[in-house]
Structure 1
Amino acid sequence: MDNGNKVIMKNGLLSLSDWLEFTLKTGFDETSPAPYTYALDLMGYSVDEFTFQPFGGFGYHEKIVRRVGSGEIKVYYHGSVPGMGIHVVISSSCMDDVLKHYRDAHSSATPFSDSAYEMADLDSTVFLDFLAMICEFGSVTRLDIAIDDIGACYFTVPEVNQYIESGQYSSRIRHTEYLCSRDNGAVSGDTVYVGKRTSDFMLRVYDKQAEQNKKRASQELPLIETPWVRWEMELKGDSAVRACEELLSRKSLAAVGVGILAQKIRLIHLDNVRKARCSTLEKWNDFLSNAEKISLYHRPPAPAVDRVCAWLKRQVAPSLAAVVAAFGGSVDFIYDLLSSGSGRLSEKHRNMIQTYWGVQPAGVMV
Structure 2
Amino acid sequence: MTTSKHQPPLANRGVVILEKEPEEVQNPLTAMVDYLRVSFKTHDVDFILEQIVHLKKAYMQEKESGFYGYIGTYQLDHIKVFYSKEGDNRGVLVEMSGQGCRQFESFLDARKKTWFDFFKDCINHGGKFSRFDLAIDDRETYFEIPMLLEKVKKGEAISRFRKSDFNGSLDIADGSNGGTTLYFGSKKSEAYLCFYEKNHEQADKYNIPLEDLGEWNRYELRLKNDRAQGAVQSLIQSQDLLNIAMQIINNYIRFVDADEDASREKWKTSGFWKVFIGDVGKLSLFMQPEDEFYEKSRRWLQNSCAPTMKMVLEADQVLGRQDLSDMVVNAELSDKQEKMLDVLLASPRDMVC
Structure with the higher fraction of residues in helix conformation:
2
The match for 1:235 is 223
The match for 2:105 is 99
Q: Distance in 1 between matches of 2:60 and 2:256?
A: 49
Q: Is the 8 A contact 2:71 2:85 kept in 1?
A: yes
SS in structure 2 at match of 1:233: strand
Q: Distance in 2 between matches of 1:190 and 1:80?
A: 47
Work out the percentage of aligned pairs sharing the same amino acid. 24
The match for 2:83 is 77
SS in structure 2 at match of 1:197: coil
Q: Distance in 1 between matches of 2:169 and 2:65?
A: 33
Q: Distance in 1 between matches of 2:54 and 2:210?
A: 34
The match for 1:162 is 150
| 2:67 maps to 1:57 | yes
Indicate how the Cα distance of structure 1 residues 9 and 24 shifts in structure 2: closer, same or farther if over 3 A, else same: farther
Deviation at 1:188, TM superposition (A): 3.5
- The structure 2 residue matched to 1:198, chosen from 188, 192, 206, is 188
The match for 1:18 is 34
Structure with the higher fraction of residues in strand conformation:
1
Q: Distance in 1 between matches of 2:264 and 2:121?
A: 42
SS in structure 2 at match of 1:82: coil
Deviation at 1:78, TM superposition (A): 0.9
For each residue in 1:26-55, what CA deviation from the matched residue of structure 2 results, as whole angstroms up to 9, or x when unmatched? xx4x1xxxx433222121211232223353
The one-letter amino acid paired with 1:99 is E
Q: Is the 8 A contact 2:73 2:80 kept in 1?
A: yes
The match for 2:55 is 45
| 2:166 maps to 1:178 | yes
- The structure 2 residue matched to 1:140, chosen from 120, 129, 138, is 129
Rg (Cα) greater in structure: 1
Deviation at 1:215, TM superposition (A): 3.0
| 2:241 maps to 1:250 | no
The one-letter amino acid paired with 1:37 is D
Indicate how the Cα distance of structure 1 residues 281 and 221 shifts in structure 2: closer, same or farther if over 3 A, else same: closer
Indicate how the Cα distance of structure 1 residues 274 and 161 shifts in structure 2: closer, same or farther if over 3 A, else same: same
What are the residue-to-residue correspondences of 1:1-366 with 2, within 5 Å? 12-25=28-41, 28=42, 30=43, 35-41=44-50, 42-67=52-77, 72-78=78-84, 82-105=88-111, 117=112, 126-137=114-125, 138-152=127-141, 154-182=142-170, 187-217=177-207, 224-254=212-242, 256-271=244-259, 274-289=263-278
The match for 1:342 is none
Q: Distance in 1 between matches of 2:209 and 2:168?
A: 24
Q: Distance in 2 between matches of 1:173 and 1:222?
A: 32
Q: Distance in 2 between matches of 1:74 and 1:157?
A: 34
Gaps of 5+ in 2: 1-17, 282-353
Indicate how the Cα distance of structure 1 residues 9 and 268 shifts in structure 2: closer, same or farther if over 3 A, else same: farther
Q: So what's the TM-score if we normalise by structure 2?
A: 0.65
Indicate how the Cα distance of structure 1 residues 275 and 239 shifts in structure 2: closer, same or farther if over 3 A, else same: farther
Deviation at 1:274, TM superposition (A): 3.9
Residues paired across the two proteins, number = 256
| C-alpha RMSD of the superposition | 3.0
For each residue in 1:176-218, what CA deviation from the matched residue of structure 2 results, as whole angstroms up to 9, or x when unmatched? 001113575765332100001110011000111122223322x
For each residue in 1:119-151, what CA deviation from the matched residue of structure 2 results, as whole angstroms up to 9, or x when unmatched? 6xxxxxx11111111111212211111222114
